[in-house]
Amino acid sequence: MSVVSPIREHLVTGGKTHHDVTEDICRHVEAKPTKEWKIALTISILVLIYGAGWVLWTWWEGLGVWGLNKTVGWAWDITNFVWWVGIGHAGTLISAILLLFRQKWRTSVNRAAEAMTIFAVICAASFIIMHMGRPWLALWALPLPNTFGSLWVNFNSPLVWDVFAISTYFSVSLLFWFIGLIPDLATIRDRATGVRKVIYGALSLGWTGGAKTWARYEDVSLILAGLSTPLVLSVHTIVSFDFATSVIPGWHTTIFPPYFVAGAIFSGFAMVQNLMLITRVVYKLEDYITIEHIGLMNKIITVTGSIVGVAYITEFFIAAYSGVEYEKYAFLNRATGPLWWSYAAMMTCNVLSPQIFWFKSLRENIVVSFVIAVVVNIGMWFERFVIIVTSLHRDYLPSSWTYFTPRMADIGDYMFSFGLFSTLFFLFSKFLPVINMAEVKSVLKTSSEKPAKY
């Protein structure tokens, strides 16, 4: 007999039975695509094609088509990379860390969040490839035997750590997501006929759901969660090392790893919130993704936003306390220099805006949640822009001080990643179950559970 907390709301409302869960989720996979979905997918693909044109142009002409200059040698490209990687933190965090903490509410959101993670990491990786200028040489980042007398990669370099971190994170997240999908794919297989049965049958690996298989499956999930938890934290830690191990004032701070991880969770949850709210309305999943879920997500957004806020203030204090002139100037220039507006945008969007979630009525308001989630992601983009560009644009020699203005190629490449992300997400939401049916079924109330009367 399971223990049910009398003070908790039901995780799934509307008195759903196990069969209702199957029907509600499978319906979207089995039905013919709707007109709205086709229109949305077409727009995404058009954006993707437009962006792809700019990416090809970037490779054809060289990285000179970006707005970079001698002083600012790294701008939108790396900003977008860090932004997407950060967004890609929420899915595995929800499925791994919240699994370890036994947060059962994650069951309704983990599938879509994990899918989003995988797509966000693909977008992030696309910026790494764009960076290379010569993408056909991408495999040089790997320690492969080569024709230069086998000159190996430098394992002391954070850029090489990044290659390992991102690719491990991507593959382990994909594995975790796929293992979570197997029982649900079997559910679809057992309802399907024809070609669909063959495809879902192959994907579900012949799953039957025997008690022994389930016991091992749960053990595998738990261990994968245990392995993924430090992995999630390691990825943004290593991304922050790209900056923290350099000698640029404003970058080489020891606070970067926890600060980046908190920011990543912050922006990732905001993106999950956005996608969840849209999916909820479009697929009519109000009984699965309840107001309680939205409220809980907003609480995490507020906590991580506040951690990020403390980190911003700590950086300033440490710069002042260090007594290093360059360090002090870097931070003063960040807040009051020519790019002050990006700093102000970052502070307002990331630190101030989530504070409205201290009020329960706003925390559980759908429109407010959606707007704040968008604002948070804008803020988190500016955070990376602030860290990267404001630390570079005024270097040690005032004669080389400059400003950064993006060109169309910067914008087009960024649009490419949006097109890629939304195309992948729309395809996912049509062809795969957007909610983990097996896990949701396991949190529904059964006959033996008699919630305390109060």
Partner 1 sequence: MAHKKYIVGIFDDEDVVKDAVGKVRGSKVKIQEVFCPYPVHGLDHALGYDRPRMGVPAFLFGITGTSLAFLLTFWTMGIDWPMNIGGKNFIPFPTNIPIVFELTVLLAAFGMAFTFFFMEGLGPTTKPVIFDERSTDDKFAMAIDMSKNTLSDAEIQTILKESGASEVSVKEI
- Judged by the rule CB under 8 A, the positions of this chain that interact with partner 1 are 1-2, 17-19, 21-22, 143, 149-156, 158, 160-161, 164-165, 168, 171-172, 175-176, 179, 182-183, 186-187, 189-191, 201-220, 223-224, 227-228, 230-231, 234, 238, 241, 438-439, 441-442, 446-448
Distance CA 381, CA 389 (A): 12
Residue number with CB closer to partner 1 (316 or 431): 431
Residue number with CB closer to partner 1 (194 or 206): 206
Residue number with CB closer to partner 1 (24 or 413): 24
Distance CA 74, CA 54 (A): 18
The dihedrals phi and psi of 312, each to the nearest 5 degrees, come to -60, -45
Nearest distance from residue 89's CB to partner 1, in Å? Answer: 15
Residue number with CB closer to partner 1 (361 or 448): 448
Nearest distance from residue 431's CB to partner 1, in Å? Answer: 17
E strand or H helix at 377, and its extent? helix 366-385
Nearest distance from residue 379's CB to partner 1, in Å? Answer: 28
Nearest distance from residue 147's CB to partner 1, in Å? Answer: 13
Residue number with CB closer to partner 1 (22 or 80): 22
- Residue recorded with tokens 């699965």: 288
Which residue type sits at 67?
G
Distance CA 60, CA 62 (A): 6
Nearest distance from residue 349's CB to partner 1, in Å? Answer: 31
Dihedral sign for Cα atoms in the order 121, 123, 128, 132: positive
Residue number with CB closer to partner 1 (217 or 357): 217
Residue number with CB closer to partner 1 (288 or 343): 288
Residue number with CB closer to partner 1 (184 or 315): 184
Nearest distance from residue 99's CB to partner 1, in Å? Answer: 13
Nearest distance from residue 226's CB to partner 1, in Å? Answer: 9
Residue number with CB closer to partner 1 (241 or 260): 241
Which residue type sits at 309?
G
> What's the burial of 407, exposed, middle or buried (CB within 10 Å: 0-12/13-18/19+)?
middle
Contacts of 336 (CB under 8 A, 6+ apart): none
Distance CA 140, CA 151 (A): 10
Helix axes 291-322, 366-385, angle to 10 degrees: 30
Contacts of 283 (CB under 8 A, 6+ apart): 28, 429, 434
Residue number with CB closer to partner 1 (70 or 450): 450
Nearest distance from residue 445's CB to partner 1, in Å? Answer: 11
Residues, the chain: 454
In angstroms, the Cα distances linking 325 to 196, 254, 318, 395 are: 66, 18, 12, 12
* CB-CB contact of 117 with 256 (8 Å): no
Nearest distance from residue 238's CB to partner 1, in Å? Answer: 6
Nearest distance from residue 245's CB to partner 1, in Å? Answer: 9
Residue number with CB closer to partner 1 (163 or 301): 163
E strand or H helix at 152, and its extent? none
Nearest distance from residue 12's CB to partner 1, in Å? Answer: 13
- The total of other beta-carbon atoms located within 10 Å of residue 100's CB is 12
- Residue recorded with tokens 């933190």: 89
* CB-CB contact of 300 with 265 (8 Å): yes
User: Tokens representing 118?
Assistant: 């995988």
User: Tokens representing 15?
Assistant: 């008195």
Nearest to 58 by CA among 127, 119, 123: 127
